[in-house]
Amino acid sequence: MLDLTYDYESCVKASERISWKVDDVLPVNAKLDFTRPFLPDQLAGTRGLATLGGAPFLDDHARLRLNQIGGNAYLNLFGFVEEYILATMMKHAQAEVFGDPMNLRALLRFTDEELKHQALFNRYRDAFERDFQHRCGVLKNAVEVAGVIMSHSPAAVLLITLHIELMTQQHYVECVKDAPMDPLFQSLLKHHWLEESQHARIDALELDKIARTLSSEKRDLAVDEYLGILDAFDGLLAEQAKLDIESLSTVLGRTFNEAEADAIRASQLAAYRKTFIWYGMTNPTFVSTTKKLSPSKAVTVAERALKFASSERPSQIPTARA
């Protein structure tokens, strides 16, 4: 159905070739470089905040701190989604216990790698908290969110998972690879990307397996459910954007009036939407997958991606992919 050019065996071989250890990527007590940004410009919400209404607003130092607050939230949001991905893939592995041993190996490596990613992210967040000198507000209800996502049909859950894992790769390749930023964070995202590229293939293989058993109506429904999950996720991004205002206020030791707070919130939300929603929805592999699953709903996905892109601060979000 999805005309895939790879199989579970090639994913296992690639996973063995690129495998890495947390201690090699981020040694215990490693020091992050707080003189540098933690997010590349394309993913940060700081552009456009140097001035507000024609007057100076956030200076270089303030925008650097907001970039670092956004970097910490970025990693926390990944930790969030990886919790449900791990739980989902454990279910898929369980279904293969008496099935194909190679499929099972691929799925077990996938789950082990996601656990390793969580350990890596936690180590980075510990280093951030230890040396940033201020505690930044981040979303906490990962288990609850995992439950909400996993209450949807397996095809819808695999679609959102494919979206996330393709988007992770794109962030690294298009934005992070050559950016002037904290070298440890850059290396962390590189190693994450290496393993996520196999995960996205396994998502597609599992989706292919399930989609073959579904009627076209059920495949349409799965895409609708996927869009519903994105709406819920968008609500979380809005909550994170509000938390960022408080964090920045604490870090800088200054308060913001309503217009200032609103400018920061809008800018952070637009950046999170671009990062977590727009990149996935418009990823070429994701677009071609949805077209094969449901040609009519693929049109809806493209329309919704444009809506997300134009909702706030449209100048910060590209309206078409090069």
Q: Supply 269's token pair.
A: 């939300």
Stretch that binds Fe ion, among 14-22, 54-62, 82-90, 245-253 (CB under 5 A): 82-90
Q: Contact with Fe ion (CB under 5 A): which of 199, 201, 273, 313?
A: 199
Stretch that binds Fe ion, among 138-146, 195-203, 225-233, 275-283 (CB under 5 A): 195-203
With beta carbons less than 8 A apart as the criterion, state whether 280 and 77 touch.
Answer: no
Q: Which is nearer to Fe ion, 109 or 117 (CB)?
A: 117
x-marked contacts with Fe ion along 148-167 as a string, rule CB under 5 A: -----------------x--
Q: How far is the CB of 269 from Fe ion (least distance, A)?
A: 24
**Per CB under 5 A, 117 contacts Fe ion:** yes
Q: What does the DSSP assignment read for 287-301?
A: HHHHHHH-HHHHHHH
Q: Which is nearer to Fe ion, 63 or 117 (CB)?
A: 117
Residues 6+ apart with CB under 8 A from 319: 306, 309, 310
**Per CB under 5 A, 171 contacts Fe ion:** no
Q: Torsion over CA of 55, 274, 192 and 293, rounded to 10 degrees?
A: 180
Alpha-helix runs per DSSP H in the chain: 8-18, 22-25, 60-95, 101-132, 142-150, 154-170, 183-211, 216-252, 258-272, 279-281, 284-293, 295-310
With beta carbons less than 8 A apart as the criterion, state whether 199 and 165 touch.
Answer: yes
Residues 6+ apart with CB under 8 A from 270: 45, 311, 312, 313, 316, 317
Q: How far is the CB of 107 from Fe ion (least distance, A)?
A: 12
Q: Which is nearer to Fe ion, 75 or 251 (CB)?
A: 75
Q: Which is nearer to Fe ion, 49 or 75 (CB)?
A: 75
Number of amino acids touching Fe ion (CB under 5 A): 5
Q: How far is the CB of 60 from Fe ion (least distance, A)?
A: 32
Stretch that binds Fe ion, among 39-47, 77-85, 95-103, 177-185 (CB under 5 A): 77-85
**Per CB under 5 A, 201 contacts Fe ion:** no
Q: Supply 160's token pair.
A: 């959102």
What is the contact surface with Fe ion in residues (CB under 5 A)? 82, 117, 165, 196, 199
